[in-house]
Amino acid sequence: MSESRTVNKPDLSRLLDPAAIAIVGASTNPKSISGQPLAHMLACSFEGKLYPVNPKRAEVQGVKAYPDVLSLPGPCDAAVIAVGREHVPEVLEQCGQAGIPYAVILTAGFSETHTESGAEMQYRLEAAIVKSGVRVVGPNCVGVMNVIKRAYMAFGGALSDKTLRPGPLAIVSQSGGFGQSMMTFANAHGVGSNYVVSCGNEADLSFFDFAHDFLNRDEVKMIATYMEATTEGKQLRQLGRHALEVGKPILMLKVGNGGAGRRAANSHTGKLTADYTLFRTTFREGGFIEVSDLDEMADVARLVMGGKYPKGRNLGILTGSGGWGVIMAEQSEKNGLHLPNTSPEHQAKLHALKSTFSSVENPIDMMANYGDQYKAIECVMDDPAFDMFLVRSAAGPDVGIWADRFIQTAAKTDKPMIINWSSIPTRDVDVREKLERAGYLCANYAGRAARAAAIFADFALKQDRFRKGAHQVTRPIEQLFLDIKTGSGPCSERASKSYVERYGVPVTNEALLSLKAVLALNKCPVPFPVAVKLASPDIPHKTEADAVRLNINSIDDLKRAAQEVFDSGHRYAPAARIDGISIQEMSSGVEVIIGAVSDPQFGPYVMVGLGGVLTEVLGDVVHRFAPVGLDMAREMLGDLRGRDILKGVRGSPPADIDALVDVIVRVSWLIKDHADVISEIDINPLFVRPAGKGVVAADALIVPFNKTGSIESSRSKS
* 3-state SS record for 288-347: EEECCCHHHHHHHHHHHHHCCCCCCCEEEEEECCHHHHHHHHHHHHHCCCECCCCCHHHH
For 478, counting Cβ atoms within 10 Å of its Cβ (0-12 exposed, 13-18 middle, 19+ buried), the class is exposed
CB of 195 to a second copy, least distance (A): 18
CB of 196 to a second copy, least distance (A): 14
Phi first, then psi, for residue 56 (nearest 5°) are: -95, -5
Alpha helices in 490-618 (DSSP H): 493-502, 515-519, 555-572, 613-616
CB of 291 to a second copy, least distance (A): 10
CB of 2 to a second copy, least distance (A): 30
CB of 533 to a second copy, least distance (A): 16
Is 391 within 8 Å of 419 (Cβ atoms)?
yes
CB of 671 to a second copy, least distance (A): 25
CB of 345 to a second copy, least distance (A): 24
Cα–Cα distance list, 715 to 2, 234, 235 (Å): 16, 10, 12
Task: Write the single-letter amino acid at 160.
Answer: S
Residue closer to a second copy, measured from CB, 603 or 685: 685
Neighbours of 312 (CB within 10 A): 15
CB of 178 to a second copy, least distance (A): 3
Residues counted in the chain: 718
Task: Write the single-letter amino acid at 181.
Answer: S
Q: Angle at which helices 233-246 and 446-467 pack, to 10 degrees?
A: 90
Task: Write the single-letter amino acid at 526.
Answer: V
Residue closer to a second copy, measured from CB, 93 or 620: 620
CB of 198 to a second copy, least distance (A): 10
CB of 580 to a second copy, least distance (A): 25
Residue closer to a second copy, measured from CB, 333 or 712: 333
CB of 493 to a second copy, least distance (A): 18
Is 672 within 8 Å of 480 (Cβ atoms)?
no
Residue closer to a second copy, measured from CB, 105 or 158: 158
CB of 323 to a second copy, least distance (A): 3
Q: What is the DSSP string of 465-501?
A: HHHTTTT----SS------PPSSS-PPPHHHHHHHHH
For 556, counting Cβ atoms within 10 Å of its Cβ (0-12 exposed, 13-18 middle, 19+ buried), the class is exposed
Is 26 within 8 Å of 52 (Cβ atoms)?
yes
Residue closer to a second copy, measured from CB, 504 or 648: 648
Provide the b/e sequence for 332-349 (b: ≥16 CB within 10 Å). Answer: beebebebbebeeebbeb
CB of 452 to a second copy, least distance (A): 13
Cα–Cα distance list, 522 to 1, 92, 518, 558, 559 (Å): 58, 84, 9, 11, 10
- Torsion sign (Cα): 414, 420, 426, 430: negative
Residue closer to a second copy, measured from CB, 4 or 356: 356
Is 267 within 8 Å of 701 (Cβ atoms)?
yes
Residue closer to a second copy, measured from CB, 18 or 176: 176
The radius of gyration of the chain's CA atoms, rounded to the nearest angstrom, is 31
Residue closer to a second copy, measured from CB, 445 or 525: 445
Residue closer to a second copy, measured from CB, 176 or 603: 176
- Torsion sign (Cα): 276, 278, 284, 290: negative
Q: Which residues pair with 596 in a beta bridge?
A: 606, 681
CB of 327 to a second copy, least distance (A): 6
Parallel, antiparallel, or unpaired: how do β-strands 603-610 and 621-625 relate? antiparallel
Residue closer to a second copy, measured from CB, 54 or 335: 335
Neighbours of 461 (CB within 10 A): 16
List contacts with a second copy (CB under 8 A): 157-158, 160, 173-179, 181, 184-185, 188, 226, 228, 253, 255-257, 292-295, 320-324, 326-327, 330-331, 395-396, 422, 424-427, 429, 444-448, 543-544, 610, 612-614, 616-618, 641-642, 644-645, 649-651
Residue closer to a second copy, measured from CB, 181 or 713: 181
CB of 447 to a second copy, least distance (A): 4
User: Could you give the CA distance from residue 110 to residue 126 in angstroms, rounded to a whole number?
Assistant: 11
Residue closer to a second copy, measured from CB, 445 or 528: 445
Residue closer to a second copy, measured from CB, 78 or 636: 636
Residue closer to a second copy, measured from CB, 575 or 617: 617
3-class state of residue 358 by DSSP: coil
Residue closer to a second copy, measured from CB, 188 or 265: 188
Cα–Cα distance list, 364 to 312, 372, 389 (Å): 19, 13, 11
DSSP state of 67: S
Q: What is the DSSP string of 98-110?
A: TT--EEEE----S
Neighbours of 133 (CB within 10 A): 13
Residue closer to a second copy, measured from CB, 327 or 702: 327
CB of 552 to a second copy, least distance (A): 13
Is 17 within 8 Å of 151 (Cβ atoms)?
yes
CB of 296 to a second copy, least distance (A): 8
Residue closer to a second copy, measured from CB, 348 or 613: 613
